[in-house]
Amino acid sequence: MAFHPPSNALSIKTFEHPKSSKTMLDLKLIRENAAEVEKALARRNGQFSVAELVKVDQRFRDLQTQWELLNQRTNEISELFKTGKADKSQIEQLRAESKELKGKREEIEKEKVALEEELDSLRLGIPNLPHDSVPDGKDETGNVEIKTWGKIPAISNPKHHWELGTELDVFDFERGVKIAESRFTVLMEMGAKMERALMNFMLDLHSKRGYREVFPPILVNRDCLIGTGQLPKFGEDLYKCAEDDLFLVPTAEVPVTNLYRDEILEEEQLTINHCAYTPNFRREAGAAGKDTRGYIRQHQFNKVELVKFCVPEKSFDELEALTLDAEAILEALELPYRRALLCAGDMGFTSQKTFDIEVWFPAQDKYREISSCSNFGDYQARRANLRYRPADGGKPRFLHTLNGSGLAIGRTLAAILENYQQTDGSVKIPKALQPYLGGLTELRPKKDSVKV
RNA sequence: GGAGAGGUGGCUGAGUGGUCGAAAGCGGCUUCCUGCUAAGAAGUUGUACGGUCAAAAGCUGUACCGAGGGUUCGAAUCCCUCCCUCUCCGCCA
């Protein structure tokens, strides 16, 4: 696998000086570089075109100009009234003209509103541009392995985590289904404790490394989801509380990135680092039949998330730092992993560049994703109106956002079970986690215990 | 859930239907003064989208005082609807 170093072809840097808010990509940039934008989008999996957008935008701007001219005349008329310059003979005529102008304006406004809606929906439907350093590729086969860490354990006939977990009284899959539906699992005694221990361990480690811990709401409003990019396109994967128009978070990325929505931060405050634990809820709409066994793909799962807000110039350095911070958890737990650079076709909608961290699953004999670390550039910042005032006092600029799992807790638990399994069916506890479990060193099946 | 108050620029906070993009203060920026990590003086300081310009500056047009409607030649200011915030009461972990 080849490593693709950053190139400087179509410079994503030109996106750093946005002029308008509430767009995902800078409209001006799209207008002026439509061909290059098309080309960058073509690298993604799926059909995205800006041609229609450019057309609607042009029509909208024409109308805008007409509308402004009508307003200008209206203002002139009222100026005549104000200054008393209008002849008495003219007054009635001016009143009539103004009314007529209003009628014309209303006509234009009708079309404008319709066009604006269309424009918004077109804009929100266009994904972020893959960075130049992102390799081409249609799907995960195009991803590039960047590094591997740790020694893959030699286990003969490794058991799957769901087998180990059931024997060790960690998971109760059947009762999870009874209580909710499929893809819901009950964590029994040691499972519950392990999950809680992992949560605390991860938050503590990240806190030590400079992330400020937050615990946000787990129900969020529509604006948040538009801000981070889940809406309007990916609503089918969300759980919704229809009566309140609130949604269960699919990731802590949503509430944490929206912490500073519509705010102007000071450059001195950046980089802001947050870590947050939340449960996450996903309908897994497109995942029918995938990972139906085990604890890998649940409708509800726990995760610690890392989120960064930084100045545009630093975001790629911060992406590396963030990825290392996520990897630090796996290294502390001594779980073998690799890092992959996602190709353009496999990247998330909002991302400019993404590293996946994949942990080794012995029974599956492969690496599975446990974290996804992305630089979004100013894409989310535009949608969520996240800005900062430069230290030199200039105009507010959009900042850059990043996030990554640090880590998915359920998958970490599953990975521990598999990688730390012993031939006698017991599972050792990683040293780093033992203090969080009262010094416990292993999980052992209770032969004499009756399954309650 | 009941009653009341309120939503104005980066922040605090004035604002009689036209002189308000909006007083004042704070903060920011620039300059001056002062020999000391301070204080003072003056000026300046919203955002977005257009036009002019090679470009920037400048000039200029339009919009924006919670959102959306209405009245009016003209609305931050009057009317209606909605949203949100705060205070008191009730209820509750």
**Three-state helix/strand/coil letters over chain A:** CCCCCCCCCCCHHHHHCCCCCCCCCCHHHHHHCHHHHHHHHHCCCCCCCCHHHHHHHHHHHHHHHHHHHHHHHHHHHHHHHHHCCCCHHHHHHHHHHHHHHHHHHHHHHHHHHHHHHHHHHHHHCCCCCCCCCCCCCCCHHHCEEEEEECCCCCCCCCCCHHHHHHHCCCEEHHHHHHHCCCCCCEECHHHHHHHHHHHHHHHHHHHHCCCEEECCCCEEEHHHHHHHCCCCCCHHHCCEEHHHCEEECCCCHHHHHHHHCCEEEEHHHCCEEEEEEEEEECCCCCCCCCCCCCCCCCCEEEEEEEEEEECHHHHHHHHHHHHHHHHHHHHHCCCCEEEEECCHHHCCCCCCEEEEEEEEECCCCEEEEEEEEEEEECHHHHHHCEEEECCCCCCCEECEEEEEEEEEHHHHHHHHHHHCECCCCCEECCHHHHHHHCCCCEECCCCCCCCC
Q: Is the ipTM of this complex over 0.85?
A: no
**Residue A18 confidence (pLDDT):** 27
Cβ count near A192 (within 10 Å): 12
Query: Is the CA virtual torsion A56, A61, A64, A65 positive or negative?
Result: negative
Q: Nearest CA to A232 among A441, A24, A442?
A: A24
Give the pLDDT score at A396: 81
Entry field: residues in chain A: 452
Which bases of chain B are under 7 A from a protein CB atom?
10, 18-19, 28-29, 46-50, 61-63, 70, 72-74
At residue A93, the pLDDT reads 85
CB A194 within 8 A of CB A206: no
Which pLDDT score is estimated for A262?
A: 81
User: pLDDT > 90: what percent of chain A?
Assistant: 52
Q: How far is the CA of A208 from the C1' of B68 (A)?
A: 48
What is the spatial distance, in angstroms and rounded to an integer, between the CA atom of A20 and the C1' atom of B14?
31
Closest nucleotide C1' to the C-alpha of A389: B10
Give residues lining strand B (CB < 7 Å).
Answer: A 19-21, 27-28, 61, 64-65, 67-69, 71-72, 74-75, 77-78, 81-82, 94-95, 98-99, 102, 106, 264, 393, 395-396
Q: For residues A364 and A385, which has the higher predicted lDDT (pLDDT)? A: A364
Mean pLDDT of A339-353: 94
The 10s digit of each residue's pLDDT in A158-212 is 999 999 999 999 999 999 999 998 999 999 999 999 999 999 999 999 999 999 9
Question: Highest-confidence range of A157-166, A254-263, A389-398, A443-452, by mean pLDDT?
Answer: A157-166
Quick one: A349 exposed, middle or buried, by C-beta within 10 A (0-12, 13-18, 19+)? middle
pLDDT surpasses 50 at A21: no
- Asked whether the predicted pLDDT for residue A384 surpasses 90, the reply is no
Length A73 CA → B14 C1' (Å): 32
pLDDT for position A447: 65
CA distance A261 to A264: 9
| Residue A60: other Cβ atoms inside 10 A | 17
| A389 close to A265: Cβ distance less than 8 angstroms | yes
Protein-to-nucleotide distance from the CA of A109 to the C1' of B70, whole angstroms:
16
Q: How far apart are the first and last CA of chain A?
A: 51
Q: Gap from A397 CA to B57 C1', in Å?
A: 21
A9, pLDDT greater than 80:
no
Cα A170 to Cα A198: distance, rounded to the nearest angstrom: 14
CB atoms within 10 A of CB A325: 22
Nucleotide showing the shortest C1' distance to residue A109 CA: B63
Specify the pLDDT at position A325: 97
Whether A11 has a pLDDT exceeding 50, the answer reads no
Nucleotide nearest the Cα atom of A82 (by C1'): B18
- Is A78:A98 a contact under the CB 8 Å cutoff? yes
Rounded to an integer, the average pLDDT of A277-298 is 89
pLDDT reported for residue A382: 86
Q: Which nucleotide is nearest to A20 (CA to C1')?
A: B48
User: What's the CA A65/C1' B18 distance, rounded, in angstroms?
Assistant: 25
Find and give the residue nearest to B28, measured CA to C1'. Answer: A393
Alpha-carbon A226 to chain mean position: 11
Say how far residue A411 (Cα) sits from the centre of its chain: 19
- List the catalytic residues of A: 282, 297, 369, 372, 411
Computed over every residue of chain A, the mean pLDDT equals 87
Q: How far: A114 CA to B16 C1' (Å)?
A: 39
Burial readout A106-136 (b: 16 or more C-beta within 10 A, e: otherwise): eebeeebeebeebbeebbbebbbbbbbbbbe
The closest of A434, A399, A424 to A16, measured between CA atoms, is: A399
What pLDDT is recorded for position A106? 87
Give A15's pLDDT tier (boundaries 50, 70, 90): very low
Name the closest nucleotide to A95, judged by C1' and CA. Answer: B73
Select the highest-mean-pLDDT range: A138-147, A307-316, A324-333: A324-333
pLDDT recorded at residue A8: 27
Rounded percentage of chain A residues whose pLDDT exceeds 70 = 93
Whether the predicted pLDDT of A280 surpasses 80:
yes
**Distance in Å, residue A106 CA to nucleotide B17 C1':** 22
Give the best-scoring range by mean pLDDT among A67-81, A233-247, A379-393, A406-420: A406-420
Q: Given a cut of 80, is residue A2 above it in pLDDT?
A: no
**Spatial distance between the Cα atoms of A396 and A387, rounded to a whole number of angstroms:** 6
Check residues A116 and A13 and name the one with the higher pLDDT: A116
The mean pLDDT of A417-445, rounded to a whole number, is 94
Q: Which nucleotide comes closest to A57 if you measure CA to C1'? A: B49
Q: Is A99 left (phi over 0), alpha (psi -120 to 50) or beta?
A: alpha
